[in-house]
Amino acid sequence: MLAENYVEDMKGGRDALPRNCESLLFEEPWQGRAFGMALALANAKAYQWESFRQSLISTIGNWDQTHEASDPTWNYYEQWLSAFEKLVLGSGLISPEELDRRTEEFRTRTREEVI
């Protein structure tokens, strides 16, 4: 399945991607990066897209159980990132220590980009 199909697959329900008309909506650069990493790893067959989708649905469901529907702290891409982290950790694609190190490098802007 190509990236375009993944995006098409998530057009409805609580796991639907935020959009502005037909374009994806990213409010912060990290949101687009998290989105891109999840798609790139699925395209590379590191995991099945459905595994990510189910992780996202579960993560959103857990958030919904512990928050009011009107909670202003809701952020779709925070749920996306949490679901992605759970999946890559659970799949052994990255260790918890490596994830923490890379997160700190990103947070402190000391990570050298490989783009």
pLDDT (0 to 100) of residue 2: 47
pLDDT (0 to 100) of residue 63: 94
Distance between CA atoms of residues 37 and 39, nearest Å: 5
pLDDT (0 to 100) of residue 50: 92
pLDDT (0 to 100) of residue 9: 53
pLDDT (0 to 100) of residue 16: 65
Amino acid identity at 105 = E
Residue 3 has pLDDT above 60, yes or no: no
Residue 14 has pLDDT above 60, yes or no: no
Provide the domain count of the chain. Answer: 1
Q: List the end-to-end C-alpha distance of the chain, in Å, as a whole number.
A: 24
Identify whether 84 is part of a domain.
yes
Residue 15 has pLDDT above 80, yes or no: no
pLDDT digits (tens, 9 = 90+) for 49-62: 999 999 999 999 99
Identify whether 115 is part of a domain.
no
pLDDT digits (tens, 9 = 90+) for 83-108: 999 999 999 999 999 999 988 988 88
Identify whether 21 is part of a domain.
yes
- The CATH number of residue 47's host domain is 1.10.472
Phi, psi of 113 (to 5 degrees): -75, 145
Identify whether 12 is part of a domain.
yes
Identify whether 113 is part of a domain.
no
